């Protein structure tokens, strides 16, 4: 199982981090050890002083595929979820400045929250999913998949050029604006189409 993550897929998030709009999807991987175990708190790692939440819509792959055409991509997933890509922003900033890979900032243990899943057929349009993140009862991120630069089926087509997709692989589709830091005792709650998908305590 692998986690395939997409960066810079919402224009407003690109602007808030003062990044360049990419010509192609930005892709990076997280190992299965990055998955935060169910009902466990998120522990801020001791190597970072600035860990950020990034709420994202997730897609779970349900069959093996390679070089998948966009028009067939919808056949390769039947569940939609919600999660968090935790990012050590200070570490990432240093790595970007040096032109180095991001894994230490993005793929550390516990950095991937995977919440509940719902059947794709219960969603009217996967290109119009609203989702949000609350921190301590206040909404900090609001997004909708209609604002993605690359929609879900386009991402599957693009990613499958480089990586064989396998059953159980998860695609993190990118985060909207509003990312920010976490502190001990913060409570993070994610909603998709007004339904709660996870609740995480930070320690």
Residue 21: C-alpha distances to residues 25, 72, 156 (Å): 10, 27, 20
User: Mind listing the pLDDT tens digit of every residue in the chain (203 residues)?
Assistant: 999 999 889 876 556 655 666 789 999 999 999 999 998 999 999 999 999 999 999 999 999 999 999 999 999 999 999 999 999 999 999 999 999 999 999 999 999 999 999 999 999 999 999 999 999 999 999 999 999 999 999 999 999 999 999 999 999 999 999 999 999 999 999 999 999 999 999 99
Q: What is the pTM of this model?
A: 0.94
Mean of all residue pLDDT scores within the chain? 95
User: Which parts of the chain fold into alpha helices (H)?
Assistant: 11-16, 89-98, 103-106, 152-162
* Nearest-angstrom CA–CA distance, 22 and 199: 32
Number of domains present in the structure of the chain:
1
Closest CA to 94 of 104, 85, 86, 84: 104
Radius of gyration of the chain (CA): 16
pLDDT at 147: 94
Q: What is the CATH number of the domain that holds 12?
A: 3.90.850.10
The range of the structural domain enclosing residue 167 comes to 3-201
Residues paired with residue 135 on neighbouring β-strands, in sequence order: 138, 188
* Nearest-angstrom CA–CA distance, 5 and 65: 17
Dihedral through CA 115, CA 118, CA 119, CA 121, nearest 10?
-130
């Amino acid at each position: 199982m692998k986690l395939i993550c997409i960066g810079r897929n919402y224009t407003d998030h690109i602007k808030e981090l003062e990044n360049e709009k990419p010509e192609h999807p930005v892709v990076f991987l997280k190992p299965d050890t990055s998955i935060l175990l169910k009902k466990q708190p998120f522990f801020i790692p001791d190597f970072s002083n600035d860990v950020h939440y990034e709420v994202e819509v997730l897609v779970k792959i349900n069959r093996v595929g390679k070089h998948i055409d966009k028009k067939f991509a919808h056949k390769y997933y039947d569940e939609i979820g919600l999660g968090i890509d935790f990012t050590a922003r200070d570490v990432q900033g240093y790595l970007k400045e040096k032109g180095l890979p991001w894994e230490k900032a993005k793929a550390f243990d516990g950095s991937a929250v995977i919440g509940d899943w719902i059947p794709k057929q219960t969603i009217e349009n996967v290109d119009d999913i609203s989702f949000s993140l609350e921190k301590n009862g206040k909404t900090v991120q609001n997004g909708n998949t209609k604002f993605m630069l690359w929609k879900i089926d386009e991402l599957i087509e693009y990613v499958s050029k480089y990586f064989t997709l396998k059953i159980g692989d998860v695609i993190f589709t990118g985060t909207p604006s509003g990312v920010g830091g976490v502190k001990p005792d913060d409570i993070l709650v994610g909603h998709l189409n007004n339904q709660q998908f996870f609740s995480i305590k930070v320690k």
